[in-house]
Amino acid sequence: MTNAPTGRLDGNDLILSRTFRAGIDDVWASVTESSRTARWFGQWSGEAGPGRTIKVQMAYEEGTPWMEARIDACEPPHRLVLSTVDEAGAWHMELLLTTAGGGTELQFIHHLTTTEGVGDVGPGWEYYLDNLVAARDDAPLPDFNDYYPSMKPYYESLRGA
Protein backbone atom coordinates (compact mmCIF):
# COMPACT_ATOMS: atom_id res chain seq x y z
CA MET A 1 0.00 0.00 0.00
CA THR A 2 1.26 3.47 -0.81
CA ASN A 3 1.37 6.56 1.33
CA ALA A 4 -1.36 9.18 1.11
CA PRO A 5 -0.84 11.81 -1.60
CA THR A 6 1.37 14.68 -0.47
CA GLY A 7 1.37 17.15 -3.36
CA ARG A 8 -0.02 20.65 -3.26
CA LEU A 9 -0.62 23.39 -5.77
CA ASP A 10 0.78 26.89 -5.45
CA GLY A 11 -0.69 28.68 -8.44
CA ASN A 12 0.36 26.48 -11.37
CA ASP A 13 3.23 24.87 -9.44
CA LEU A 14 2.74 21.29 -8.33
CA ILE A 15 4.96 20.78 -5.26
CA LEU A 16 5.89 17.47 -3.62
CA SER A 17 8.46 16.82 -0.89
CA ARG A 18 10.38 13.91 0.58
CA THR A 19 12.76 13.88 3.55
CA PHE A 20 15.79 11.61 3.76
CA ARG A 21 18.02 10.62 6.66
CA ALA A 22 21.09 11.27 4.56
CA GLY A 23 23.47 14.07 3.78
CA ILE A 24 22.65 16.54 1.04
CA ASP A 25 25.56 15.38 -1.17
CA ASP A 26 24.33 11.79 -1.07
CA VAL A 27 20.75 12.76 -1.97
CA TRP A 28 22.11 15.06 -4.72
CA ALA A 29 23.97 12.08 -6.18
CA SER A 30 20.72 10.08 -6.16
CA VAL A 31 19.04 12.65 -8.40
CA THR A 32 22.00 13.52 -10.66
CA GLU A 33 24.25 10.48 -11.19
CA SER A 34 23.07 8.24 -14.05
CA SER A 35 23.84 4.97 -12.24
CA ARG A 36 21.71 6.15 -9.32
CA THR A 37 18.84 7.74 -11.29
CA ALA A 38 18.60 4.43 -13.18
CA ARG A 39 17.46 2.77 -9.95
CA TRP A 40 14.31 4.89 -9.56
CA PHE A 41 13.64 6.91 -12.75
CA GLY A 42 15.98 6.02 -15.59
CA GLN A 43 19.54 6.25 -16.75
CA TRP A 44 20.76 9.23 -18.70
CA SER A 45 23.56 9.84 -21.15
CA GLY A 46 25.33 12.86 -22.58
CA GLU A 47 27.49 15.65 -21.30
CA ALA A 48 25.64 17.24 -18.39
CA GLY A 49 25.86 20.91 -17.57
CA PRO A 50 23.79 24.10 -17.59
CA GLY A 51 22.49 24.83 -21.08
CA ARG A 52 23.20 21.30 -22.27
CA THR A 53 20.76 18.57 -23.25
CA ILE A 54 20.97 14.98 -22.05
CA LYS A 55 18.99 11.90 -23.08
CA VAL A 56 17.00 10.19 -20.31
CA GLN A 57 15.53 6.70 -20.57
CA MET A 58 12.15 6.43 -18.87
CA ALA A 59 12.88 3.02 -17.33
CA TYR A 60 9.50 2.67 -15.62
CA GLU A 61 7.29 3.76 -18.51
CA GLU A 62 5.82 1.42 -21.11
CA GLY A 63 8.39 0.75 -23.81
CA THR A 64 11.16 2.44 -21.77
CA PRO A 65 11.32 5.42 -24.16
CA TRP A 66 14.14 7.94 -24.31
CA MET A 67 13.50 11.68 -24.02
CA GLU A 68 15.67 14.76 -24.15
CA ALA A 69 16.05 16.93 -21.06
CA ARG A 70 17.64 20.35 -21.12
CA ILE A 71 19.54 21.33 -17.98
CA ASP A 72 18.39 24.89 -17.39
CA ALA A 73 20.24 25.29 -14.07
CA CYS A 74 22.52 23.10 -11.96
CA GLU A 75 23.71 24.40 -8.61
CA PRO A 76 25.16 21.42 -6.69
CA PRO A 77 24.01 20.23 -4.24
CA HIS A 78 20.97 22.47 -3.93
CA ARG A 79 19.14 23.08 -7.21
CA LEU A 80 18.52 21.33 -10.51
CA VAL A 81 16.16 22.72 -13.16
CA LEU A 82 15.17 20.64 -16.21
CA SER A 83 12.95 21.16 -19.24
CA THR A 84 11.63 18.39 -21.46
CA VAL A 85 9.56 18.31 -24.61
CA ASP A 86 7.90 15.13 -25.85
CA GLU A 87 4.53 13.85 -27.03
CA ALA A 88 3.11 14.70 -23.58
CA GLY A 89 4.08 18.35 -24.06
CA ALA A 90 6.65 20.71 -22.57
CA TRP A 91 7.51 20.18 -18.91
CA HIS A 92 9.56 22.44 -16.64
CA MET A 93 10.73 20.85 -13.37
CA GLU A 94 12.85 21.95 -10.44
CA LEU A 95 14.46 19.97 -7.62
CA LEU A 96 15.51 21.86 -4.50
CA LEU A 97 17.53 20.21 -1.73
CA THR A 98 18.00 21.67 1.74
CA THR A 99 19.52 20.40 4.95
CA ALA A 100 16.80 19.73 7.49
CA GLY A 101 17.08 18.25 10.99
CA GLY A 102 20.18 16.19 10.33
CA GLY A 103 18.84 14.98 6.99
CA THR A 104 17.89 16.36 3.61
CA GLU A 105 14.58 17.61 2.28
CA LEU A 106 13.94 17.31 -1.44
CA GLN A 107 11.28 19.59 -2.83
CA PHE A 108 10.13 18.71 -6.34
CA ILE A 109 8.33 21.45 -8.27
CA HIS A 110 6.62 20.84 -11.60
CA HIS A 111 5.96 24.28 -13.10
CA LEU A 112 2.72 23.56 -14.94
CA THR A 113 1.40 25.81 -17.68
CA THR A 114 -2.12 24.94 -16.52
CA THR A 115 -3.55 22.85 -13.69
CA GLU A 116 -5.71 20.96 -16.17
CA GLY A 117 -4.52 17.34 -16.10
CA VAL A 118 -2.95 17.59 -12.62
CA GLY A 119 -5.04 14.53 -11.69
CA ASP A 120 -2.91 12.53 -14.12
CA VAL A 121 0.44 14.20 -13.40
CA GLY A 122 0.38 14.26 -9.58
CA PRO A 123 0.07 10.50 -9.03
CA GLY A 124 2.99 9.93 -11.41
CA TRP A 125 5.32 12.19 -9.44
CA GLU A 126 4.19 10.58 -6.16
CA TYR A 127 5.16 7.23 -7.70
CA TYR A 128 8.55 8.40 -8.92
CA LEU A 129 9.45 10.09 -5.64
CA ASP A 130 8.43 6.96 -3.72
CA ASN A 131 10.60 5.01 -6.19
CA LEU A 132 13.48 7.27 -5.13
CA VAL A 133 12.79 6.58 -1.44
CA ALA A 134 12.61 2.82 -2.06
CA ALA A 135 15.77 2.78 -4.19
CA ARG A 136 17.70 4.67 -1.51
CA ASP A 137 16.44 2.22 1.15
CA ASP A 138 17.15 -0.86 -1.04
CA ALA A 139 13.45 -1.69 -0.71
CA PRO A 140 11.13 -3.06 -3.41
CA LEU A 141 9.86 -0.37 -5.76
CA PRO A 142 6.17 0.50 -5.49
CA ASP A 143 3.54 -0.49 -8.06
CA PHE A 144 2.19 2.38 -10.18
CA ASN A 145 -1.28 0.81 -9.99
CA ASP A 146 -1.33 1.76 -6.30
CA TYR A 147 -1.07 5.44 -7.32
CA TYR A 148 -3.22 5.77 -10.37
CA PRO A 149 -6.16 6.12 -10.63
CA SER A 150 -6.66 6.11 -6.83
CA MET A 151 -4.82 9.44 -6.28
CA LYS A 152 -6.44 11.17 -9.25
CA PRO A 153 -9.44 12.58 -7.29
CA TYR A 154 -7.12 14.09 -4.65
CA TYR A 155 -5.09 15.91 -7.27
CA GLU A 156 -8.15 17.04 -9.18
CA SER A 157 -9.57 18.46 -5.94
CA LEU A 158 -6.49 20.70 -5.58
CA ARG A 159 -7.64 22.68 -8.61
CA GLY A 160 -10.66 23.92 -6.67
CA ALA A 161 -8.77 24.66 -3.46
What Rg do the C-alpha atoms of the chain give, in angstroms? 15
Q: Which of 113, 37, 26, 109 is nearest to 73 (CA)?
A: 109
User: What percentage of the chain has pLDDT greater than the value 90?
Assistant: 91
Give per-residue pLDDT as tens, 113-147.
Answer: 999 999 999 999 999 999 999 999 999 999 999 99
Is the per-residue pLDDT at 1 higher than 70? no
Would strands 13-20 and 66-75 be described as parallel, antiparallel, or unpaired?
unpaired
Q: What domains, with CATH codes, occur in the chain?
A: 8-34+76-158 (3.30.530.20)
Would strands 44-45 and 53-57 be described as parallel, antiparallel, or unpaired?
antiparallel
Is the per-residue pLDDT at 55 higher than 60? yes
**How confident is residue 160, by pLDDT bands cut at 50, 70 and 90?**
confident
- Predicted pLDDT at 122: 97
Is the per-residue pLDDT at 161 higher than 70? no
**How confident is residue 24, by pLDDT bands cut at 50, 70 and 90?**
very high
Is the per-residue pLDDT at 88 higher than 80? no
What value does the mean pLDDT of the chain take?
A: 95
Would strands 103-111 and 66-75 be described as parallel, antiparallel, or unpaired?
unpaired
- Predicted pLDDT at 151: 97
Q: Partners of 56 in the beta sheet?
A: 44, 67
